[in-house]
Structure 1
Protein backbone atom coordinates (compact mmCIF):
# COMPACT_ATOMS: atom_id res chain seq x y z
CA UNK A 1 0.00 0.00 0.00
CA UNK A 2 1.45 3.32 -1.09
CA UNK A 3 0.48 6.39 0.97
CA UNK A 4 0.88 9.88 -0.49
CA UNK A 5 0.34 12.92 1.72
CA UNK A 6 -0.10 16.24 -0.04
CA UNK A 7 -2.58 19.06 -0.67
CA UNK A 8 -5.87 18.48 -2.43
CA UNK A 9 -4.80 19.94 -5.78
CA UNK A 10 -1.66 17.82 -6.07
CA UNK A 11 -3.64 14.73 -5.11
CA UNK A 12 -6.15 15.49 -7.87
CA UNK A 13 -3.31 16.02 -10.34
CA UNK A 14 -1.67 12.70 -9.42
CA UNK A 15 -4.91 10.75 -9.86
CA UNK A 16 -5.67 12.53 -13.14
CA UNK A 17 -2.13 11.72 -14.33
CA UNK A 18 -2.68 8.03 -13.57
CA UNK A 19 -5.99 8.05 -15.44
CA UNK A 20 -4.50 9.86 -18.43
CA UNK A 21 -1.66 7.32 -18.61
CA UNK A 22 -4.21 4.49 -18.53
CA UNK A 23 -6.27 6.06 -21.31
CA UNK A 24 -3.16 6.42 -23.40
CA UNK A 25 -1.97 2.84 -22.89
CA UNK A 26 -5.19 0.80 -23.23
CA UNK A 27 -7.43 0.50 -26.29
CA UNK A 28 -10.59 -0.04 -24.20
CA UNK A 29 -9.88 1.15 -20.64
CA UNK A 30 -12.39 0.56 -17.86
CA UNK A 31 -12.72 3.08 -15.02
CA UNK A 32 -14.42 2.61 -11.68
CA UNK A 33 -16.16 5.86 -10.73
CA UNK A 34 -17.05 7.04 -7.24
CA UNK A 35 -19.50 9.69 -6.11
CA UNK A 36 -19.19 11.85 -3.00
CA UNK A 37 -16.96 14.82 -2.30
CA UNK A 38 -13.58 13.03 -2.42
CA UNK A 39 -13.20 12.66 -6.22
CA UNK A 40 -14.71 16.02 -7.25
CA UNK A 41 -11.36 17.76 -7.69
CA UNK A 42 -10.17 14.80 -9.79
CA UNK A 43 -13.18 15.08 -12.08
CA UNK A 44 -12.66 18.83 -12.42
CA UNK A 45 -9.03 18.25 -13.42
CA UNK A 46 -10.00 15.59 -15.98
CA UNK A 47 -12.63 17.93 -17.44
CA UNK A 48 -10.00 20.67 -17.70
CA UNK A 49 -7.68 18.31 -19.60
CA UNK A 50 -10.54 17.27 -21.87
CA UNK A 51 -11.43 20.87 -22.69
CA UNK A 52 -7.91 22.26 -23.03
CA UNK A 53 -5.69 19.30 -23.92
CA UNK A 54 -8.03 17.06 -25.88
CA UNK A 55 -8.12 14.20 -23.39
CA UNK A 56 -10.84 11.89 -24.69
CA UNK A 57 -13.05 9.34 -22.98
CA UNK A 58 -14.70 8.18 -26.19
CA UNK A 59 -13.30 4.64 -25.86
CA UNK A 60 -13.71 4.35 -22.07
CA UNK A 61 -16.24 2.31 -20.16
CA UNK A 62 -17.18 3.21 -16.61
CA UNK A 63 -18.78 1.39 -13.69
CA UNK A 64 -20.17 3.06 -10.59
CA UNK A 65 -19.67 1.73 -7.08
CA UNK A 66 -23.20 1.94 -5.77
CA UNK A 67 -26.75 3.25 -6.05
CA UNK A 68 -29.60 4.01 -3.69
CA UNK A 69 -32.56 1.64 -3.72
CA UNK A 70 -35.97 3.13 -4.34
CA UNK A 71 -35.07 6.55 -5.69
CA UNK A 72 -36.76 7.22 -9.04
CA UNK A 73 -34.43 7.53 -12.01
CA UNK A 74 -35.29 11.24 -12.24
CA UNK A 75 -34.25 12.02 -8.64
CA UNK A 76 -31.30 14.44 -8.59
CA UNK A 77 -29.55 12.38 -5.89
CA UNK A 78 -29.74 9.14 -7.83
CA UNK A 79 -26.08 8.34 -8.27
CA UNK A 80 -26.59 7.90 -12.01
CA UNK A 81 -27.65 11.55 -12.15
CA UNK A 82 -24.97 12.68 -9.71
CA UNK A 83 -22.09 11.13 -11.66
CA UNK A 84 -23.56 12.43 -14.90
CA UNK A 85 -23.68 15.99 -13.55
CA UNK A 86 -20.28 15.84 -11.86
CA UNK A 87 -18.32 14.18 -14.64
CA UNK A 88 -19.86 12.08 -17.40
CA UNK A 89 -21.83 14.82 -19.18
CA UNK A 90 -18.84 17.18 -19.02
CA UNK A 91 -16.59 15.00 -21.17
CA UNK A 92 -17.14 12.73 -24.20
CA UNK A 93 -18.18 9.32 -22.90
CA UNK A 94 -20.28 7.41 -25.42
CA UNK A 95 -23.98 7.07 -24.71
CA UNK A 96 -24.45 4.24 -22.20
CA UNK A 97 -20.73 3.79 -21.61
CA UNK A 98 -21.11 4.36 -17.84
CA UNK A 99 -23.22 1.87 -15.92
CA UNK A 100 -24.42 1.67 -12.33
CA UNK A 101 -26.30 -0.88 -10.24
CA UNK A 102 -30.06 -0.77 -10.89
CA UNK A 103 -31.62 0.42 -7.65
CA UNK A 104 -35.07 0.45 -9.27
CA UNK A 105 -35.01 -3.23 -10.32
CA UNK A 106 -37.90 -5.47 -9.31
CA UNK A 107 -35.41 -8.24 -8.51
CA UNK A 108 -32.50 -6.63 -6.67
CA UNK A 109 -30.67 -9.93 -6.17
CA UNK A 110 -30.67 -10.62 -9.90
CA UNK A 111 -29.69 -7.01 -10.63
CA UNK A 112 -26.69 -7.39 -8.33
CA UNK A 113 -25.50 -10.57 -10.04
CA UNK A 114 -26.03 -8.99 -13.45
CA UNK A 115 -23.87 -6.04 -12.44
CA UNK A 116 -20.93 -8.18 -11.35
CA UNK A 117 -21.28 -10.11 -14.60
CA UNK A 118 -21.24 -6.89 -16.66
CA UNK A 119 -17.97 -5.82 -15.01
CA UNK A 120 -16.42 -9.21 -15.76
CA UNK A 121 -17.61 -9.17 -19.37
CA UNK A 122 -16.04 -5.70 -19.81
CA UNK A 123 -12.69 -7.21 -18.86
CA UNK A 124 -12.66 -6.00 -15.27
CA UNK A 125 -11.90 -2.55 -13.91
CA UNK A 126 -8.44 -1.20 -14.69
CA UNK A 127 -8.47 1.70 -12.23
CA UNK A 128 -10.98 2.19 -9.44
CA UNK A 129 -11.45 5.54 -7.67
CA UNK A 130 -12.52 5.18 -4.04
CA UNK A 131 -13.40 7.29 -1.04
CA UNK A 132 -13.78 6.28 2.58
CA UNK A 133 -16.49 6.97 5.15
CA UNK A 134 -15.86 8.18 8.68
CA UNK A 135 -16.65 4.66 9.92
CA UNK A 136 -14.30 3.06 7.41
CA UNK A 137 -16.89 2.03 4.84
CA UNK A 138 -15.87 1.77 1.18
CA UNK A 139 -18.64 2.15 -1.38
CA UNK A 140 -21.62 1.25 0.85
CA UNK A 141 -19.89 -1.69 2.56
CA UNK A 142 -20.72 -0.75 6.14
CA UNK A 143 -18.88 -2.08 9.22
CA UNK A 144 -19.57 -5.78 9.55
CA UNK A 145 -19.53 -6.38 5.79
CA UNK A 146 -17.95 -9.57 4.53
CA UNK A 147 -14.46 -8.89 3.24
CA UNK A 148 -15.19 -11.18 0.25
CA UNK A 149 -18.66 -9.81 -0.50
CA UNK A 150 -20.07 -9.31 -4.00
CA UNK A 151 -22.47 -6.68 -5.34
CA UNK A 152 -25.61 -6.90 -3.22
CA UNK A 153 -28.33 -5.01 -1.36
CA UNK A 154 -27.22 -3.40 1.90
CA UNK A 155 -28.90 -1.51 4.72
CA UNK A 156 -27.27 1.86 5.32
CA UNK A 157 -25.91 2.61 8.79
CA UNK A 158 -27.45 5.52 10.64
CA UNK A 159 -24.12 7.39 10.56
CA UNK A 160 -23.93 7.06 6.79
CA UNK A 161 -27.45 8.40 6.39
CA UNK A 162 -26.63 11.32 8.72
CA UNK A 163 -23.45 12.03 6.72
CA UNK A 164 -25.41 11.99 3.45
CA UNK A 165 -28.34 14.05 4.68
CA UNK A 166 -26.60 17.21 3.43
CA UNK A 167 -27.37 16.04 -0.12
CA UNK A 168 -31.07 15.76 0.76
CA UNK A 169 -31.59 19.24 2.16
CA UNK A 170 -30.35 18.20 5.58
CA UNK A 171 -33.33 15.88 6.11
CA UNK A 172 -32.08 12.45 7.12
CA UNK A 173 -35.57 11.02 6.67
CA UNK A 174 -35.23 11.63 2.94
CA UNK A 175 -32.07 9.50 2.70
CA UNK A 176 -32.91 5.96 1.53
CA UNK A 177 -32.31 3.14 3.96
CA UNK A 178 -31.05 0.66 1.38
CA UNK A 179 -28.63 0.57 -1.53
CA UNK A 180 -26.99 -1.69 -4.05
CA UNK A 181 -23.23 -1.67 -3.70
CA UNK A 182 -20.23 -3.39 -5.18
CA UNK A 183 -18.95 -5.79 -2.55
CA UNK A 184 -15.47 -5.63 -1.10
CA UNK A 185 -14.57 -8.76 -3.07
CA UNK A 186 -15.79 -7.09 -6.25
CA UNK A 187 -13.78 -3.94 -5.55
CA UNK A 188 -10.65 -5.94 -4.79
CA UNK A 189 -10.69 -7.40 -8.32
CA UNK A 190 -9.87 -4.01 -9.86
CA UNK A 191 -6.28 -3.87 -11.04
CA UNK A 192 -5.40 -0.53 -9.40
CA UNK A 193 -7.23 1.08 -6.48
CA UNK A 194 -6.82 4.80 -5.77
CA UNK A 195 -8.44 5.96 -2.55
CA UNK A 196 -8.74 9.69 -1.84
CA UNK A 197 -9.47 11.09 1.62
CA UNK A 198 -9.35 14.70 2.78
CA UNK A 199 -10.23 16.43 6.02
CA UNK A 200 -9.63 15.73 9.68
CA UNK A 201 -12.96 13.95 10.05
CA UNK A 202 -11.46 11.10 7.96
CA UNK A 203 -8.28 10.83 10.07
CA UNK A 204 -9.33 7.89 12.25
CA UNK A 205 -10.69 5.92 9.31
CA UNK A 206 -7.47 6.53 7.35
CA UNK A 207 -5.36 5.44 10.33
CA UNK A 208 -7.34 2.21 10.74
CA UNK A 209 -7.29 1.48 7.00
CA UNK A 210 -3.53 1.93 6.61
CA UNK A 211 -2.14 0.87 9.98
CA UNK A 212 -4.88 -1.05 11.75
CA UNK A 213 -5.65 -4.76 11.85
CA UNK A 214 -7.70 -6.18 8.98
CA UNK A 215 -11.25 -6.40 10.26
CA UNK A 216 -14.81 -6.21 8.98
CA UNK A 217 -15.39 -3.56 11.64
CA UNK A 218 -13.24 -1.25 9.47
CA UNK A 219 -14.10 -2.52 5.97
CA UNK A 220 -11.43 -0.42 4.22
CA UNK A 221 -8.70 -2.41 5.98
CA UNK A 222 -9.20 -5.16 3.39
CA UNK A 223 -7.33 -2.89 0.95
CA UNK A 224 -4.12 -3.85 2.76
CA UNK A 225 -4.42 -7.17 0.92
CA UNK A 226 -4.55 -5.62 -2.56
CA UNK A 227 -1.32 -5.79 -4.63
CA UNK A 228 -1.68 -2.28 -6.10
CA UNK A 229 -3.45 0.29 -3.95
CA UNK A 230 -2.58 3.97 -3.57
CA UNK A 231 -3.95 6.04 -0.69
CA UNK A 232 -3.89 9.80 -1.29
CA UNK A 233 -4.59 12.01 1.73
CA UNK A 234 -4.14 15.61 2.80
CA UNK A 235 -2.45 16.63 6.06
CA UNK A 236 -5.62 16.68 8.20
CA UNK A 237 -6.66 13.22 7.00
CA UNK A 238 -3.11 11.97 7.66
CA UNK A 239 -2.93 13.43 11.19
CA UNK A 240 -3.50 10.07 12.95
CA UNK A 241 -0.96 8.10 10.91
CA UNK A 242 1.83 6.83 13.13
CA UNK A 243 4.19 6.46 10.17
CA UNK A 244 3.28 9.74 8.50
CA UNK A 245 6.86 10.99 8.38
CA UNK A 246 7.98 7.73 6.76
CA UNK A 247 5.28 7.98 4.09
CA UNK A 248 6.34 11.55 3.30
CA UNK A 249 10.00 10.51 3.13
CA UNK A 250 9.24 7.57 0.87
CA UNK A 251 7.25 9.68 -1.57
CA UNK A 252 9.84 12.47 -1.61
CA UNK A 253 12.54 9.97 -2.59
CA UNK A 254 10.68 7.99 -5.23
CA UNK A 255 12.68 7.07 -8.32
CA UNK A 256 11.67 8.83 -11.52
CA UNK A 257 10.49 5.58 -13.06
CA UNK A 258 8.13 4.90 -10.14
CA UNK A 259 4.57 6.00 -10.72
CA UNK A 260 1.27 5.43 -9.01
Structure 2
Protein backbone atom coordinates (compact mmCIF):
# COMPACT_ATOMS: atom_id res chain seq x y z
CA UNK A 1 0.00 0.00 0.00
CA UNK A 2 1.65 3.31 -1.06
CA UNK A 3 2.03 5.97 1.61
CA UNK A 4 0.19 9.30 1.12
CA UNK A 5 3.46 11.26 0.87
CA UNK A 6 5.02 8.92 -1.69
CA UNK A 7 6.75 10.86 -4.45
CA UNK A 8 5.79 9.94 -7.99
CA UNK A 9 8.37 9.38 -10.69
CA UNK A 10 9.58 12.18 -12.91
CA UNK A 11 7.69 10.69 -15.88
CA UNK A 12 4.47 10.32 -13.88
CA UNK A 13 4.82 13.89 -12.62
CA UNK A 14 5.32 15.19 -16.16
CA UNK A 15 2.24 13.35 -17.46
CA UNK A 16 0.10 14.57 -14.56
CA UNK A 17 1.27 18.17 -15.05
CA UNK A 18 0.39 17.98 -18.75
CA UNK A 19 -3.10 16.67 -17.96
CA UNK A 20 -3.71 19.37 -15.36
CA UNK A 21 -2.64 22.13 -17.74
CA UNK A 22 -5.04 20.74 -20.37
CA UNK A 23 -7.90 20.69 -17.84
CA UNK A 24 -7.14 24.27 -16.76
CA UNK A 25 -7.20 25.44 -20.38
CA UNK A 26 -10.35 23.44 -21.24
CA UNK A 27 -12.31 24.71 -18.25
CA UNK A 28 -10.85 28.23 -18.47
CA UNK A 29 -10.09 28.36 -14.74
CA UNK A 30 -7.08 29.95 -13.10
CA UNK A 31 -4.37 28.10 -11.22
CA UNK A 32 -5.43 30.00 -8.11
CA UNK A 33 -8.95 28.64 -8.52
CA UNK A 34 -7.69 25.08 -8.84
CA UNK A 35 -5.39 25.46 -5.84
CA UNK A 36 -8.33 26.62 -3.70
CA UNK A 37 -10.56 23.78 -4.87
CA UNK A 38 -7.83 21.23 -4.11
CA UNK A 39 -6.97 22.91 -0.79
CA UNK A 40 -3.36 23.43 -1.87
CA UNK A 41 -1.21 26.53 -1.76
CA UNK A 42 -0.72 28.27 -5.10
CA UNK A 43 3.05 28.00 -4.53
CA UNK A 44 2.82 24.19 -4.27
CA UNK A 45 0.71 23.96 -7.43
CA UNK A 46 3.07 26.22 -9.38
CA UNK A 47 6.12 24.18 -8.33
CA UNK A 48 4.67 20.79 -9.32
CA UNK A 49 3.30 22.11 -12.62
CA UNK A 50 6.65 23.73 -13.37
CA UNK A 51 8.59 20.55 -12.63
CA UNK A 52 10.44 22.10 -9.69
CA UNK A 53 8.92 19.56 -7.29
CA UNK A 54 7.64 16.01 -7.96
CA UNK A 55 4.00 15.20 -7.36
CA UNK A 56 3.21 13.28 -4.21
CA UNK A 57 0.36 10.81 -3.95
CA UNK A 58 -1.50 13.06 -1.49
CA UNK A 59 -1.22 16.11 -3.76
CA UNK A 60 -2.34 14.08 -6.78
CA UNK A 61 -5.40 12.72 -4.98
CA UNK A 62 -6.46 16.24 -3.94
CA UNK A 63 -6.15 17.45 -7.52
CA UNK A 64 -8.09 14.44 -8.84
CA UNK A 65 -10.94 15.18 -6.45
CA UNK A 66 -10.93 18.88 -7.38
CA UNK A 67 -10.97 18.19 -11.13
CA UNK A 68 -13.11 15.05 -11.08
CA UNK A 69 -10.69 13.20 -13.37
CA UNK A 70 -8.12 10.47 -12.86
CA UNK A 71 -4.60 11.85 -13.26
CA UNK A 72 -2.71 8.61 -12.68
CA UNK A 73 -2.43 6.06 -15.45
CA UNK A 74 -1.72 3.13 -13.13
CA UNK A 75 -4.14 0.31 -12.41
CA UNK A 76 -4.30 1.10 -8.69
CA UNK A 77 -5.52 4.66 -9.17
CA UNK A 78 -8.96 4.92 -7.53
CA UNK A 79 -11.70 6.85 -9.28
CA UNK A 80 -12.13 10.34 -7.83
CA UNK A 81 -15.15 10.68 -5.60
CA UNK A 82 -17.39 13.72 -5.57
CA UNK A 83 -17.19 15.30 -2.09
CA UNK A 84 -20.94 15.27 -1.44
CA UNK A 85 -21.56 11.94 -3.14
CA UNK A 86 -24.92 13.05 -4.56
CA UNK A 87 -24.18 12.41 -8.22
CA UNK A 88 -26.60 14.50 -10.26
CA UNK A 89 -28.25 16.28 -7.30
CA UNK A 90 -26.90 19.59 -5.99
CA UNK A 91 -26.38 20.11 -2.23
CA UNK A 92 -29.37 21.34 -0.25
CA UNK A 93 -27.60 24.67 0.36
CA UNK A 94 -27.73 25.36 -3.40
CA UNK A 95 -31.35 24.29 -3.87
CA UNK A 96 -31.10 20.48 -4.19
CA UNK A 97 -31.75 20.72 -7.93
CA UNK A 98 -31.06 17.90 -10.36
CA UNK A 99 -28.72 18.27 -13.29
CA UNK A 100 -31.56 17.60 -15.73
CA UNK A 101 -33.71 20.30 -14.15
CA UNK A 102 -31.11 23.05 -14.74
CA UNK A 103 -29.61 21.94 -18.05
CA UNK A 104 -31.29 24.91 -19.76
CA UNK A 105 -29.10 27.31 -17.75
CA UNK A 106 -25.83 25.80 -18.96
CA UNK A 107 -24.02 27.76 -21.64
CA UNK A 108 -21.81 30.71 -22.46
CA UNK A 109 -23.08 34.23 -21.86
CA UNK A 110 -22.02 37.77 -22.68
CA UNK A 111 -22.32 39.51 -19.31
CA UNK A 112 -22.94 43.26 -19.23
CA UNK A 113 -23.20 45.75 -16.39
CA UNK A 114 -22.54 49.48 -16.02
CA UNK A 115 -18.86 50.42 -15.82
CA UNK A 116 -17.98 51.39 -12.26
CA UNK A 117 -15.29 53.78 -13.50
CA UNK A 118 -17.11 55.57 -16.35
CA UNK A 119 -20.82 56.42 -16.02
CA UNK A 120 -21.30 56.44 -19.80
CA UNK A 121 -19.54 53.14 -20.48
CA UNK A 122 -20.58 49.49 -20.16
CA UNK A 123 -18.42 46.69 -18.81
CA UNK A 124 -18.69 43.38 -20.71
CA UNK A 125 -17.12 39.96 -20.21
CA UNK A 126 -17.76 36.27 -20.85
CA UNK A 127 -19.37 33.91 -18.31
CA UNK A 128 -19.63 30.15 -18.71
CA UNK A 129 -22.12 28.15 -16.61
CA UNK A 130 -21.49 24.40 -16.59
CA UNK A 131 -22.23 21.33 -14.48
CA UNK A 132 -19.29 20.37 -12.25
CA UNK A 133 -19.24 16.65 -11.48
CA UNK A 134 -17.05 17.00 -8.40
CA UNK A 135 -19.13 19.78 -6.84
CA UNK A 136 -22.34 18.09 -8.06
CA UNK A 137 -23.77 21.47 -8.99
CA UNK A 138 -23.69 24.19 -11.59
CA UNK A 139 -20.62 26.42 -11.39
CA UNK A 140 -19.69 29.58 -13.25
CA UNK A 141 -16.37 30.91 -14.55
CA UNK A 142 -15.69 34.39 -15.93
CA UNK A 143 -13.18 35.28 -18.65
CA UNK A 144 -12.37 38.05 -21.14
CA UNK A 145 -12.39 40.57 -18.28
CA UNK A 146 -10.41 43.74 -18.80
CA UNK A 147 -9.60 43.69 -15.07
CA UNK A 148 -8.37 40.08 -15.14
CA UNK A 149 -7.22 40.20 -11.51
CA UNK A 150 -10.89 40.44 -10.44
CA UNK A 151 -12.09 37.46 -12.50
CA UNK A 152 -14.68 35.52 -10.49
CA UNK A 153 -15.85 31.91 -10.29
CA UNK A 154 -18.19 30.15 -7.92
CA UNK A 155 -21.36 28.15 -7.34
CA UNK A 156 -24.85 28.51 -8.79
CA UNK A 157 -27.88 28.19 -6.48
CA UNK A 158 -31.32 27.51 -7.98
CA UNK A 159 -33.89 27.22 -5.15
CA UNK A 160 -37.47 26.43 -6.09
CA UNK A 161 -38.96 28.83 -3.54
CA UNK A 162 -37.81 32.16 -4.97
CA UNK A 163 -37.77 31.31 -8.64
CA UNK A 164 -34.43 33.11 -8.98
CA UNK A 165 -30.87 32.07 -9.77
CA UNK A 166 -27.93 33.05 -7.57
CA UNK A 167 -24.29 33.19 -8.69
CA UNK A 168 -22.28 33.10 -5.48
CA UNK A 169 -18.60 33.86 -5.02
CA UNK A 170 -17.18 33.15 -1.57
CA UNK A 171 -13.47 33.83 -1.08
CA UNK A 172 -12.41 33.36 2.53
CA UNK A 173 -15.74 34.72 3.74
CA UNK A 174 -15.87 37.65 1.30
CA UNK A 175 -18.97 37.37 -0.89
CA UNK A 176 -20.09 38.64 -4.26
CA UNK A 177 -23.70 37.88 -5.11
CA UNK A 178 -25.56 38.07 -8.40
CA UNK A 179 -29.35 37.55 -8.25
CA UNK A 180 -31.02 36.77 -11.58
CA UNK A 181 -34.58 36.22 -12.71
CA UNK A 182 -35.28 32.97 -14.55
CA UNK A 183 -34.30 33.18 -18.25
CA UNK A 184 -36.60 34.70 -20.82
CA UNK A 185 -37.77 32.51 -23.71
CA UNK A 186 -34.69 33.47 -25.72
CA UNK A 187 -32.36 32.75 -22.80
CA UNK A 188 -31.46 36.17 -21.38
CA UNK A 189 -31.19 36.58 -17.62
CA UNK A 190 -31.53 39.93 -15.83
CA UNK A 191 -30.87 40.96 -12.25
CA UNK A 192 -28.63 42.69 -9.72
CA UNK A 193 -24.93 42.38 -8.91
CA UNK A 194 -23.88 43.19 -5.34
CA UNK A 195 -20.14 43.49 -4.85
CA UNK A 196 -17.34 45.73 -3.57
CA UNK A 197 -15.89 48.65 -5.49
CA UNK A 198 -12.11 48.88 -5.17
CA UNK A 199 -10.93 52.42 -4.43
CA UNK A 200 -7.60 53.88 -3.50
CA UNK A 201 -5.31 51.68 -1.46
CA UNK A 202 -7.32 49.14 0.52
CA UNK A 203 -10.60 51.10 0.37
CA UNK A 204 -13.57 48.91 -0.60
CA UNK A 205 -17.11 50.27 -0.94
CA UNK A 206 -20.30 48.19 -1.31
CA UNK A 207 -21.96 48.75 -4.67
CA UNK A 208 -24.96 47.33 -6.55
CA UNK A 209 -25.91 47.62 -10.23
CA UNK A 210 -28.12 46.03 -12.91
CA UNK A 211 -26.60 43.12 -14.78
CA UNK A 212 -27.65 41.08 -17.82
CA UNK A 213 -26.55 37.67 -19.09
CA UNK A 214 -27.04 37.29 -22.85
CA UNK A 215 -26.56 33.91 -24.58
CA UNK A 216 -23.49 34.41 -26.72
CA UNK A 217 -25.37 33.26 -29.83
CA UNK A 218 -27.53 36.42 -29.51
CA UNK A 219 -24.53 38.67 -30.20
CA UNK A 220 -23.03 37.96 -33.66
CA UNK A 221 -19.67 39.61 -32.89
CA UNK A 222 -19.42 40.16 -29.11
CA UNK A 223 -16.98 42.72 -27.76
CA UNK A 224 -15.54 42.64 -24.26
CA UNK A 225 -13.93 45.06 -21.86
CA UNK A 226 -14.99 48.67 -21.31
CA UNK A 227 -17.53 49.41 -24.07
CA UNK A 228 -17.87 53.05 -25.12
CA UNK A 229 -20.59 54.65 -27.22
CA UNK A 230 -18.48 54.20 -30.35
CA UNK A 231 -18.54 50.40 -30.03
CA UNK A 232 -20.83 48.53 -32.44
CA UNK A 233 -22.45 46.61 -29.56
CA UNK A 234 -22.97 49.58 -27.23
CA UNK A 235 -26.60 50.19 -28.19
CA UNK A 236 -27.72 46.57 -27.78
CA UNK A 237 -25.82 46.19 -24.50
CA UNK A 238 -27.41 49.39 -23.19
CA UNK A 239 -30.85 48.21 -24.31
CA UNK A 240 -30.54 45.03 -22.26
CA UNK A 241 -29.34 46.89 -19.17
CA UNK A 242 -32.30 49.24 -19.40
CA UNK A 243 -34.64 46.27 -19.75
CA UNK A 244 -33.41 45.03 -16.36
CA UNK A 245 -34.96 48.06 -14.70
CA UNK A 246 -37.75 48.96 -17.15
CA UNK A 247 -39.62 45.63 -17.12
CA UNK A 248 -38.68 45.46 -14.16
CA UNK A 249 -36.56 42.42 -13.36
CA UNK A 250 -34.95 44.36 -10.50
CA UNK A 251 -35.78 47.44 -8.45
CA UNK A 252 -33.47 50.17 -7.21
CA UNK A 253 -35.11 52.30 -4.51
CA UNK A 254 -34.16 55.95 -3.91
CA UNK A 255 -32.45 56.74 -0.60
Fold-level match, TM-score > 0.5? Answer: no
Bin of the TM-score, shorter chain as denominator length:
under 0.3
| TM-score, structure 2 as length reference | 0.28
- Which structure carries more helix by proportion? 1
More strand as a share of residues: 2
RCO higher in structure (CA 8 A, sep ≥6) = 1
Task: Return the index of the structure with the highest Cα Rg.
Answer: 2
